[in-house]
Chains A and B, each alone.
Chain A
Amino acid sequence: MNLRDLSIGTKLALALTVVIIGISSAGSIIIFNYQKRSLDEQILERSRTISELLIQIEDHKLISRVASEFTEVTGYKLKQTSLEPVNPANAPDELEKRVMEMFKQKNTSEYYTVVTAEDGTRYFRYLRALYTNERCISCHPDYQIGELRGSVSVVAPYGDIAMAMKRNFFYILVTLQLLTISILVVVYYLSRKIVSTPLKELIKEVEGSAKEIQKGEEVEDISVKSRDEIGMLATAFNNLRKSLSESFKRKNEAIESFVYSISHDLKAPLRSIEGFSTALLEDYGDTLDGDAKHYLDRIISSARKMGVLIDELLEYSRIGRINLVRGDVNVAEVVALALEDNSYEINKKNAKIKIAEKLPVIKNAEKQRIYQIFTNLISNALKYNDKEVPEIEIGYRDEGDRYLFYVKDNGIGFDMRYHDKIFDIFQRLHREDEYEGTGVGLAMVKKIVETYGGKIWAESTPGEGSTFYFTLPKEVKR
């Protein structure tokens, strides 16, 4: 497992563990050394005092007695030693011999060290040089003043104290580790509370809006709950989404204006096709036979159909791109207009139309677009209907800040499997000789509804009829 894959809380806890263990170890060592030094100084001071006292006693025998008494009471061993001992008990050991040689050569009169005996016990050794003075001369007239006579040697127990110190050191360590663990627990908990949880919430929101974007829905900004880095991240995400959607919009607009100019350019040669075919038919119709005339008719009608298709494509590309006059649009008025424009079919098919009373008003909308929605849906309801008496019902429901409209018919319906397909441009479910059409109508309706921030869908049972639902805001934004 890679260290980078750990959660932020774990990473923080790990980093803190390393830092705290480092600091506590360093701290322990410093404290330990400080304590040790002060302990050494204590023993040294004591050894010095004892040696000083011992030197004051002039009687050798008394010295020996005091020394042995002293040892019994304090555990400090005291001894006089000489390089040329008169008393064999005063013979120096290895260390004493070495130190006294050193005293002889150098100008020092004091030496101490910690030694470890063969059985592992540790001792503090202190040696103090003894020089011949006036008092010595009185008993030993062959001595010379200032001559090194020997030394006072102190052997102090050291092991016990060291053990105690080790115990201390252990306690310090344990305390520090406990402190470390409790800090870690607090940090881990805090990091969850102030980092992990808000981050996870943010991630959830971002994923949610990513799904909405994928579905092509209008996405609201992610809530910015704080001004810290997480809040900044949320803001950054919102900005990213905005600039992405703007660049997408720009690209879309570029495509649509491309479609517009292409459609426009396609119409010029189309005018020539229709024009010259018409000219041929009009000017030379007398000399052409039936088939030739029929072919010319097909060319002209195809050219016209292509003209209609291009016109619809042009109109489709204008939705949302070209802003028409905006204002309050009375749906009742628009529906009446759409019915009037479909009146030929209505009368021909003897259709029954039922309209809800008091259709609402949409604010800040383009009348032409609302009209296009209804005229397309009504025309479809009439076209895809083979009933003796086609029935069309138009109604709505108030849904707070929007209206839900529906156009219901008793027509041929469609298989719900094709639900999404019927709203795609140039998608048709029927052969052209069955039902005329270009496949732009519903796509156009969908585009208008969605430009206005609404949704469109349909329910249908083949043979029984379809109901087209769409929502429009009570007041169109922008």
Chain B
Amino acid sequence: MMDRVSAIEILLVEDSQDDVELTLRAFKKNNLGNKIHVARDGAEALEFLKRVERGDAPHPGLILLDLKLPKVDGIEVLRYIKSREVLRRIPVVMLTTSKNDIDIETCYDLGANSYIVKPINFKDFMETIKNIQLYWIVTNQPPVVE
């Protein structure tokens, strides 16, 4: 079972260097051994996803997506993922500071699988990352990659 879990690769789309590092550390702390690809803006994320479609990059089992991103907005990235045959089944967890109702509705309408508001306290933030990891990697059954 651990093999299935550790085989899942994750795409983290996050523009804040601090948040990237804190997230990576939290993942590492829980010691599940997943490989994490980081995209620092929307364009980088799209580029990675296109490589996945071409088979040049590994197929991620989970995408953590920030909303407010430089160059290409998180919403656009989400729209792209959910409109592509190869990508649309990948669970997408929105991880953002926005509590805006319109943002939340738009994301779910576009097919986001979860919407999480980034806790502002360090402790809560660590706790949240741990919960995401436990639920989406361990508990949740991902779709089979063909």
Chain A residues packing against B (C-beta within 8 Å): 264, 267-269, 271-272, 274-276, 278-279, 303, 307
Judging by beta carbons under 8 Å apart, are B18 and A272 in contact?
A: yes
B25 interface residue per 8 A CB criterion: yes
Within 8 Å CB of B19, what residues of A? 272
**CB-based contact A274/B18 at 8 Å:** no
Q: What total count of A-B pairs have CB within 8 Å?
A: 32
Task: Verify B120–A268 contact, CB threshold 8 A.
Answer: yes
Q: Which of B16, B18, B22, B120 contacts A267 (CB 8 A)?
A: B120
Q: Can you list 21 A-B pairs with a CB-CB distance of less than 8 A?
A: A264-B120, A267-B121, A268-B16, A268-B97, A271-B22, A271-B120, A271-B122, A271-B125, A272-B22, A275-B18, A275-B22, A275-B25, A275-B122, A275-B125, A275-B126, A276-B18, A276-B21, A279-B22, A279-B25, A303-B122, A307-B121
Measured CA separation A267–B21 after assembly (Å): 17
Instruction: Report A-chain residues with C-beta under 8 Å of the C-beta of B16.
Output: 268
- Among candidates A271, A276, A279, residue contacting B121 with C-beta atoms closer than 8 Å: A271
Q: Mark B106-142, 1 if CB is under 8 A from A, else 0.
A: 0000000000000011100110000000000000000
With contacts A275-B18, A276-B22 known, what are 14 further pairs, Cβ within 8 A? Answer: A267-B120, A267-B121, A271-B18, A271-B22, A271-B122, A272-B18, A272-B19, A274-B122, A275-B126, A276-B18, A279-B22, A279-B25, A303-B122, A307-B121
Per the bound structure, the CA–CA distance linking A276 and B22 in Å amounts to: 8
Name the residue of chain B whose CB is nearest to the CB of A267.
Answer: B120
A465 to B22, CA, bound (A): 48
Return B19 CB to nearest CB of chain A, in Å: 8
Nearest residue in B to A271 (C-beta to C-beta)?
A: B122
Complex alpha-carbon distance, A477 and B29, angstroms: 52
B 20-54 to A, binary, CB cutoff 8 A, 1 in contact else 0? 01100100000000000000000000000000000
B contact residues around A268 at 8 Å (CB):
16, 18, 97, 120
Contact partners of B122 in chain A: CB under 8 A: 271, 274-275, 278, 303
